[in-house]
């Protein structure tokens, strides 16, 4: 059952829908900022080890193991009679050159990916907001139509799917009419090629509009002499 609303109600609803669209778009932009902040927190948790206190703790643990190994090496050298000044030993070395750059480069890469993803999400959200608000305004406008002719005119408006149909892989990749190859050559070259194809089937490859020398036969000479 169709419901007709008054003009005042229609104006109030349309104004409310426009306000809601504006607020939702602002909320979408705010949501994008929140998503990026949340991603930064996740990335910080993933790279929590990249901290001075963590590295200091790892260094102390490594030093303890190195000291144990040095004591074992020294004891074994004494058993073998190797003087202390000639005994082998080990030391702890810390290789960190370029590590900071590697971590920061990885973070920048992930940050760019996250920003692109959030931008795509925001664009889709804004499109959905606009479409939903347009649908609401459409329903409001249709509810205000009183004549059957007005409703029929509205129903004839094409949808976006009609204006922009899906691509057909067969139409793009399959044979075209005329073929794609023929569409890429000039009309003159196209006629020449078609002519050669026909003559090839007939056993004659003489191109059109070419100079052809005809040698008269003896019968022609005789006839010419009689005339």
Within a domain: residue 2?
Answer: no
Return the closest-CA partner of residue 62 out of 98, 95, 100: 95
CA dihedral 15, 20, 23, 27 (to 10 degrees): -170
Domain co-membership, 136 together with 199: no
Domain co-membership, 131 together with 197: no
H or E segment and range at residue 123: helix 99-143
Domain co-membership, 190 together with 154: no
Within a domain: residue 220?
Answer: no
Last-in-domain residue among 108, 143, 164: 164
Residue 6 confidence (pLDDT) = 78
Q: What spatial distance separates the first Cα and last Cα of the chain, rounded to whole Å? A: 100
How does DSSP classify residue 80?
Answer: T
Q: CA–CA separation, 121 vs 89, rounded Å?
A: 59
Within a domain: residue 169?
Answer: no
Which pair of tokens denotes residue 64? 């303890």
Residues spanned by the domain of 109:
7-164
Cα-based distances in Å from 182 to 46, 172, 185, 198: 58, 15, 6, 16
Report yes or no: 199 and 192 within 8 Å, Cβ to Cβ. no
H or E segment and range at residue 216: none
Within a domain: residue 217?
Answer: no
Domain co-membership, 45 together with 150: yes
Residue 62 confidence (pLDDT) = 86
Q: CA–CA separation, 138 vs 143, rounded Å?
A: 8
What total of structural domains would you count in the chain? 2
Domain co-membership, 111 together with 186: no
Domain co-membership, 156 together with 182: no
Domain co-membership, 32 together with 99: yes
H or E segment and range at residue 89: none
Domain co-membership, 77 together with 181: no
User: Could you tell me the pTM of the whole model?
Assistant: 0.46
Domain co-membership, 79 together with 117: yes
- Digits of tens for pLDDT over the chain (227 positions)? 455 677 888 888 888 888 988 999 999 999 999 999 999 888 887 777 666 676 778 788 888 899 999 999 999 999 999 888 888 988 887 665 556 667 788 888 899 999 998 999 999 899 989 988 888 888 888 777 666 655 565 566 566 666 667 766 566 555 555 555 555 556 666 677 777 877 777 775 455 454 544 455 555 444 444 44
Within a domain: residue 221?
Answer: no
Report yes or no: 118 and 36 within 8 Å, Cβ to Cβ. yes
């Amino acid at each position: 059952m169709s419901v007709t609303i008054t003009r005042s109600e229609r104006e109030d609803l349309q104004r409310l829908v426009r306000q809601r669209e504006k607020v939702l778009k602002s909320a979408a932009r705010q949501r994008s900022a929140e998503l990026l902040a949340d991603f930064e927190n996740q990335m910080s948790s993933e790279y929590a080890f990249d901290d001075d206190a963590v590295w200091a703790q790892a260094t102390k643990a490594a030093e303890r193991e190195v000291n144990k190994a040095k004591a074992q090496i020294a004891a074994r050298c004494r058993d073998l009679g190797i003087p202390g000044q000639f005994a082998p030993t080990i030391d702890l070395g810390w290789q960190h050159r370029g590590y900071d750059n590697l971590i920061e480069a990885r973070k920048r890469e992930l940050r760019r990916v996250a920003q692109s993803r959030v931008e795509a999400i925001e664009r889709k959200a804004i499109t959905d907001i606009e479409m939903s608000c347009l649908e609401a305004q459409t329903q409001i406008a249709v509810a205000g139509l009183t004549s059957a002719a007005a409703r029929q005119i509205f129903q004839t408006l094409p949808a976006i799917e009609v204006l922009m149909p899906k691509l057909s892989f067969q139409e793009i990749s399959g044979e075209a009419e005329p073929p794609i190859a023929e569409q890429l050559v000039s009309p003159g070259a196209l006629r020449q090629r078609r002519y050669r194809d026909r003559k090839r089937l007939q056993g004659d490859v003489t191109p059109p509009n070419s100079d052809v020398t005809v040698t008269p036969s003896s019968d022609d000479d005789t006839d010419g002499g009689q005339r």
